[in-house]
Every structure is written in structure tokens, then in C-alpha cells.
């Protein structure tokens, strides 16, 4: 297992377009998280899944954002009608259980909305 994999690594899109990112967690991990990080800031929680169930969503996650984790494996994060304020690094992380041994983060997808 090579860790948490995210793709694409970079995405440039025009304002108003829809984008989708994918995250493949560590296979033994049952929890998967999405975070957003802007320059100079710490990651901000967006949502998390335990297996296929989405257990919590941040108030940051507007109705333009949707995340899925079919069959409790990989996850997708879709942003509809992108805005310039959506430009950020989108990080995926996974953990086994409650993350006692830490969360493993992927390399992220950097989104630029022009």
C-alpha cells in the first residue's frame, strides 16, 4: 500500500464549471476525511465518512459541494458552479478507527478557479 492517493494533483478550471476530485485511502482504513487548506492556513475540516456513511459535514460545505464514498472504498468530492473563493488545496486523509495513530494525508489536489 502506497498511502493515500489523490488525483488530479492540479486542476485549473473556469468559474462556473464543475470539478470532481478523487481520493483512494489506505485500504485498511475505515474513516476518510476531506479538508481544505488555503495558503498560510491550517487545514479546515469539510466532511468525513466511516465506511460508506457520511457522518458529518462542516458548515463550510455549501450546497455546491458534495462528497460520496460508494462501497466504503474511494471517495469523490464534487464542486458545482465553482467560484474563485473555492481555490485551495483539497486534502484527503484516512484513519483506522478514531485516528489514535494519526491520520494519513494524501498529497492533495490544488484547485485554481480562474
- Backbone dihedral region for residue 72 (phi beyond 0: left; psi -120 to 50: alpha; all else: beta): left
| Residue among 14 and 100 whose Cβ is closer to another protein | 100
Cβ atoms of 106 and 91 within 8 Å: the answer is: yes
Cβ atoms of 69 and 49 within 8 Å: the answer is: yes
Strand partners, 11: 111
Q: Please tell me whether residue 85 binds another protein under the rule CB under 8 A.
A: no
| Residue among 8 and 16 whose Cβ is closer to another protein | 8
Q: Please tell me whether residue 94 binds another protein under the rule CB under 8 A.
A: no
Rg (CA), the chain: 13
Q: Please tell me whether residue 107 binds another protein under the rule CB under 8 A.
A: yes
Distance CA 79, CA 18 (A): 6
- The residue within the footprint of another protein, chosen from 49, 103, 111, 113 (CB under 8 A), is 103
Q: Please tell me whether residue 74 binds another protein under the rule CB under 8 A.
A: no
| Residue among 74 and 105 whose Cβ is closer to another protein | 105
Contacts with another protein by CB under 8 A lie at 31, 33, 35, 40-45, 48, 55-56, 91, 93, 95, 98-108
Amino acid at each position: 500500500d502506497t498511502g493515500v492517493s489523490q488525483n488530479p494533483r492540479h486542476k485549473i478550471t473556469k468559474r462556473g464549471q464543475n470539478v470532481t476530485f478523487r481520493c483512494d485511502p489506505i485500504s485498511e482504513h475505515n474513516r476518510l476525511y476531506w479538508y481544505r487548506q488555503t495558503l498560510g492556513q491550517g487545514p479546515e475540516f469539510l466532511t468525513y465518512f466511516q465506511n460508506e456513511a457520511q457522518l458529518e459535514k462542516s458548515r463550510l460545505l455549501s450546497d455546491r459541494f458534495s462528497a460520496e464514498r460508494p462501497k466504503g472504498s474511494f471517495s469523490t468530492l464534487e464542486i458545482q458552479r465553482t467560484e474563485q473563493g473555492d481555490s485551495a488545496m483539497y486534502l484527503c486523509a484516512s484513519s483506522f478507527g478514531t485516528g489514535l495513530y494519526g491520520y494519513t494525508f494524501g498529497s492533495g489536489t490544488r484547485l485554481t478557479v480562474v
